Amino acid sequence: MIENEFIPDLKLSSIPVGVVSWSAPSNIALVKYWGKKENQIPENQSISFTLDTCKTITKLYFSKRDTSDENYSFEILLDGENKPDFKPKINTFFNRIEAYLPFLKSYHFKIETSNTFPHSSGIASSASGMSALALCLMSVEKLMNPEMSQEYFNKKASFLARLGSGSASRSIEGDLIVWGKHNAIEGSSDLFGIKYPYEVHDNFKNYNDTILLVDKGEKQVSSTVGHNLMHSHPFAKTRFKQAEENITKLKAILKSGDLEAFIALIESEALTLHAMMMTSMPYFILMKPNTLEIINKIWSFRKETGLHISFTLDAGANVHVLYPENETEEIYNFIKTELVAYCQNGHYICDQIGFGAQKL
């Protein structure tokens, strides 16, 4: 599939006014996307668990403008409050997607959005936020072109979301999503995320993700800056190759249900992501002392009990604690008694694998 297939070839019928609404989940990468080319094309393939509780809910009101001009016409509200500071990001997004949604300048949009997780939690809302908006825009296109297939709808929603934020391409469906062309994954593409198409062992069903909020502050490095640092990174090539190999390895692990191998792979991915940041120029340490305390506690508890607790990280200090459903009771008790003390104000979020966005 190539980009041009996402340019509507039908004359889209015009609808004067309407409203559409979607809830879209966040996701947590197991093999990390870090490094991109022009037009939000990833340097390496990534795979993620779609989350369930952490999501963005977006309502999009649209009304036909009497006259259209060179500018987009929209307003954006977060939790009912006007957010003019969000406008430049949306403007850039609209510029990137206009070729694929030619009606954008003919409408005024009111975007009402809210997140189920606190804005200042250190959890990025770009994946769920951009995918919710992309889905709303696809619903507008679908009203104009009711014949559109579900498959095309999902692919194009992921394609558009990717142009807003790379990881957002993985927030349309669930429960495991692959983004980036990979020889061992049929149907995979650099342009959009796809549902992982192979057998997954029961060990990974309803997997838990308890997110420990170690630092709720603004990100020290934006992901755009971080991705760009991979351009001149001395280890970039090796890292991209490693990610590709890790996806191949993960495919076998997901089938066999080998939890030990799963843990080794995802923890190594998390630490490699941070190692890339520590070894770029300029360099960054995004973990905090409490991030390391938590990691060490997880390792000792795993050694003592043989339970399958593990962690992953995104580009910040928070820790995602991952564990299988049948070990929930003991591991959750351990988290509450031993790990929550390292969270800022004791805050954490209980989440688990989810099954994708929902039309409201």
Residues in touch with ligand DP6 (CB under 6 A): 29, 32-34, 40, 46, 124, 126, 165-167, 223-224, 227, 273, 314-315
- Least distance in angstroms from the C-beta of 241 to ligand DP6: 17
Nearer to ligand DP6, 68 or 242 (CB): 242
- Least distance in angstroms from the C-beta of 107 to ligand DP6: 25
Closest CB to ligand DP6: residue number:
166
Nearer to ligand DP6, 58 or 223 (CB): 223
- Least distance in angstroms from the C-beta of 215 to ligand DP6: 15
Please answer whether residues 208 and 352 qualify as being in contact, where contact means their C-beta atoms are separated by less than 8 angstroms.
yes
Nearer to ligand DP6, 224 or 296 (CB): 224
DSSP bridge pairs for 36: 42
Helices (H) and strands (E) in the chain, counts: 8, 14
- Least distance in angstroms from the C-beta of 9 to ligand DP6: 28
Cα(223)–Cα(130) distance, integer angstroms: 14
- Least distance in angstroms from the C-beta of 32 to ligand DP6: 4
> Please, what is the Cα angle at 155 between 85 and 181, to 5 degrees?
100
Nearer to ligand DP6, 210 or 312 (CB): 312
Q: Render the burial of 60-95: b for 16+ CB within 10 Å, e for the rest.
A: bbbeeeeeeeeebebbbebeeeeeeebeeebeebbe
Nearer to ligand DP6, 20 or 123 (CB): 123
Nearer to ligand DP6, 60 or 276 (CB): 276
Give the distance from CA 27 to its chain's centroid: 4
- Report how far apart, in Å, the C-alpha atoms of 187 and of each of 31, 48, 168, 173, 352 are: 18, 16, 18, 15, 26
Helix 87-97 × helix 126-144 angle, to 10°: 50
- Least distance in angstroms from the C-beta of 226 to ligand DP6: 7
- Least distance in angstroms from the C-beta of 265 to ligand DP6: 14
- Report how far apart, in Å, the C-alpha atoms of 154 and of each of 57, 144, 160, 187, 323 are: 17, 16, 10, 14, 29
- Least distance in angstroms from the C-beta of 238 to ligand DP6: 18
Contacts of 35 (CB under 8 A, 6+ apart): 42, 43, 44, 227, 230, 231, 233, 236, 239, 240
Cα(84)–Cα(36) distance, integer angstroms: 28
Nearer to ligand DP6, 60 or 315 (CB): 315
Nearer to ligand DP6, 114 or 272 (CB): 272
